[in-house]
Chains A and B, each alone.
With several copies, the nearest count.
Chain A
Amino acid sequence: MSEETTELPAGLRGVADLDLKPALEAMLMVVDEPATEEHLAKLLERPKRQIARALRELADEYLTQGRGFELRFVAGGWRFYTRPEYAAAVERLVLEGQTARLTQAALETLAVVAYRQPVSRSRVSAVRGVNCDGVMRTLLQRGLIEEEGTEPETGAILYRTTNYFLERMGLRGLDELPELAPFLPEAEAIEAETQEGVPSFDPDAPDSEDADDN
């Protein structure tokens, strides 16, 4: 919800006095695309060479300390990865509770993205009336949606559906998504039902076993 931000703009807090290595660790904790040394150098206001050396030292530390994660230089940038020796543990976690089907919340969110794309996360949350960050991550992870640029005014990341989504829906293109208009009258009926019924459980909805929004 960056539109609403009243926090100090990022640039206003100084980074120049921060200890370099922990600052890098903090930044890399939150990126999911490899971060280039140039980019990190610019953001942290240090020479690139200093950044490069610090990253290599960190990578060595993790190796020496036998950490379960590692810092790797991949595709031109640095990113935290799980260490392959512990893949078995990660795989268990990944597969635990995963199914081929999507939760009701995920399906609804996907539907909103499909018809509103390109759309920001905060907009999706606004439309659905609940925070959708967790569900959006799931959809990203399952390859059904992807990032597509940013909103010029706010800098918010925009999302669209992927080809994989079309494939799973059995559609040749987005233009094959049905028009919404014919379903609008019916929507009122749905509203009426949910207004008086138990709010979060809709027995007719597909895949309703998980009403949980995360």
Chain B
Amino acid sequence: MGDLSAEQAAAGLAEPPAPDPEDPGDGVFKVRLSNFEGPFDLLLQLISKHKLDVTEVALSKVTDEFMAHIRAMGPDWDLDETTEFLVVAATLLDLKAARLLPSAEVEDEADLALLEARDLLFARLLQYRAYKQIADIFSRRLDDEARRYPRTVGLEPHHAELLPEVVISIGAEGFAKLAVKAMQPKPKPQVYVDHIHAPLVSVQEQAGIVVARLKELGEASFRDLVRDTDDTLTVVARFLALLELYREKAVALDQEIALGELVVRWTGGDGDDAPQVTDEFDRPPELPKEEEKA
């Protein structure tokens, strides 16, 4: 049962002075070995490295370094961490791109969205910074307090004698059961996400519909292929189905101009054997990496 200290080392307590990169911790631990705690921490560190004021900083200045850090992390991240980093990175890149454009005028909705994204990023960054500063206060406070020891001496023998005799009424068996229960490893807190990722729309199923329609029409625009649905998930599923069919060379895709009409042509022949569409998109998500650690 030495797992607590390992767990503490991995999760919350100060690591030994020379952390071992081979430590079999989870991804969270590895991130911390690189000396930052998530995207906001990294961003704050980069900003302060350049001695920039966080409230005024042009984030494009630190974007490249941020991206470099992400790249340096390699393939070891789990989806959880990567997602947050990518969200921040994408926002940063957006902002950088916007600065490269000649006009700074707010003209269309895309600009507005960019401004919103920037404000949101700032807001989250500032919020995180606030808690970080509070954490420093907590740290000092806990250190100060650790120099005070409460009196926890308990009763003098003649007082302890006043206590009523202890009654243990559960019997030896009950006691053993209790011991088993108490020593049972506690279930790790976890939130079940299956329902979130459950494929409400099956790509395989939608592929069937798309194939049937294309075989009948020979050629159709994507707009036509999704005309009978206004459900985003179904549209996405049909698009994914097309990608799979394209991979199987069952369809040809043609799009004359960017964001223009996408024309799909059936190239799968007239046979009855339907092209292979995998269940790649329909499988439940991989179990969280966390589990492997236990």
Contacts and interface: CB of A to CB of B under 8 A. Distances in A.
Tell me if chains A and B make direct contact, with any CB pair below 8 A.
yes
Interface of A: 3-4, 6-7, 26, 28-32, 69-70, 72, 79-84, 87, 90-91, 94-95, 97-112, 114-116, 121-123, 125-131, 133-144, 156-157, 164, 167-171, 176-180, 183-187, 189-191, 193-195, 198, 200-201, 204-207, 210-214
Interface of B is mostly: helix
Nearest to B38: A130
Contacts of A204: 196
A170 B135 contact: no
Interface in B120-174: 120, 123-124, 126-139, 141-156, 159-160, 162-170, 172-174
Contact of A102 (B113, B168, B196): B168
A110 to B, nearest CB: 6
B32 interface: yes
Interface stretch (B4-12, B61-69, B221-229, B251-259): B4-12
Given A128-B38, A183-B133, A210-B191, A94 B142 contact: no
Contacts of A167: 150
A183 B177 contact: yes
A132 to B, nearest CB: 9
B267 to A, nearest CB: 34
A112 B155 contact: no
A98 B164 contact: yes
Contacts of A185: 55, 126
Contacts of B193: 210-211, 213-214
Given A177-B172, A200-B117, A100 B127 contact: no
B111 interface: no
Interface of B: 1, 3-5, 7-8, 10-15, 26, 28, 31-32, 37-41, 55, 80-81, 83-84, 87-88, 91, 113, 116-117, 119-120, 123-124, 126-139, 141-156, 159-160, 162-170, 172-184, 186-191, 193, 196, 288, 290
Nearest to B165: A100
16 contacts: A72-B148, A98-B163, A101-B139, A101-B166, A101-B169, A107-B136, A127-B182, A141-B160, A142-B160, A170-B148, A178-B134, A180-B134, A187-B130, A190-B126, A210-B193, A211-B196
Contacts of B26: 134
A110 B173 contact: no
Nearest to B175: A111
A129 B88 contact: yes
Contact of A131 (B5, B81, B123, B162): B81
Contacts of B290: 133-134, 214
B149 A108 contact: no
Contacts of A214: 80, 190-191, 193, 288, 290
A105 B186 contact: no
B62 to A, nearest CB: 15
A101 to B, nearest CB: 5
Contacts of A212: 80, 83-84
A105 B32 contact: yes
